[in-house]
Structure 1
């Protein structure tokens, strides 16, 4: 008995990117796709004429990562808003480059509150327990 054929589609394209006979190992080159949401659709056809379909949603992010601080999605803004923007790429994946691979961020308010509380407690403790 012969094997099934599979047709591989990206998004809603009418033409498959590949028609192969199973079993097969397939490499999807995401560099040819735009960043964002996509759907990989695999349609199989058995030698008896029966069809099966599988849809796999996935997200492509080949371009540089863009990080913003100071504005969130669907946020209501008023006045002058300072926004920090950073974009960095994965670079050469065969070697690790540390410079520019991290996004600088400001220290969150909860960290400042925790530090001030700790130092306030430490000062209180020192004054009350070590006074002569």
Structure 2
């Protein structure tokens, strides 16, 4: 029985032709700028020296385009009537300037912050009242 050499073969998405095949161990860089934004799958097939194969699938998401933030609707929401939306898209195309307006998505102050502020003001009012009128 002839021995086969060890080989690691890499496939991207459903392409039957591998984009890389090396003897292990390997280190490589995958250039995601050539991939479309969205979900992709990396399939790694490793063949041992006695001919047995192992397969591993790794799903990953590519986002090289601008980041998109949407406030007002989320994945899987059930909605009716009029929906107010805030959509913001920002990327890193320009490195020579920084645009403050497009770099942040406006969000409302969380309700727990308001509750904390009210509790603190209430405690302050109680402390002021007790130190003013109860010290005599």
Corresponding position of 2:89? 87
In 1, the alpha carbon distance for the partners of 2:48 and 2:126 equals: 78
Residue 40 of structure 1 deviates from its aligned partner by 1.0
Unaligned stretches of 5+ in structure 1? none
Q: How many residues in Structure 1 have an aligned counterpart in Structure 2? A: 131
Q: Is 1:68–1:84's contact at 8 Å kept on the other side of the alignment?
A: yes
Corresponding position of 2:127? 125
Q: How does the TM-score come out when normalised to structure 2?
A: 0.74
Unaligned stretches of 5+ in structure 2? none
Runs of 4+ in 1 over 6 A off after TM superposition: none
31, 44, 51: which one pairs with 1:29? Answer: 31
58, 61, 72: which one pairs with 1:59? Answer: 61
In 1, the alpha carbon distance for the partners of 2:59 and 2:21 equals: 20
Q: Is 2:7–2:47's contact at 8 Å kept on the other side of the alignment?
A: yes
In 1, the alpha carbon distance for the partners of 2:39 and 2:90 equals: 20
Secondary structure class of the residue paired with 2:43 = strand
For 1:36-86, what per-residue CA distance to the aligned partner results, in whole angstroms no more than 9, with x for missing partners?
222211112345433222222222222221112222222232333322221
Corresponding position of 2:74? 72
Given the superposition, is the C-alpha separation of residues 105 and 5 from structure 1 closer, same or farther in structure 2, using an over 3 Å criterion? same
In 2, the alpha carbon distance for the partners of 1:121 and 1:23 equals: 63
Residue 91 of structure 1 deviates from its aligned partner by 4.4
Q: Which moved more, 1:83-92 or 1:95-104?
A: 95-104
Q: Which moved more, 1:46-55 or 1:80-89?
A: 46-55
RMSD: 3.0
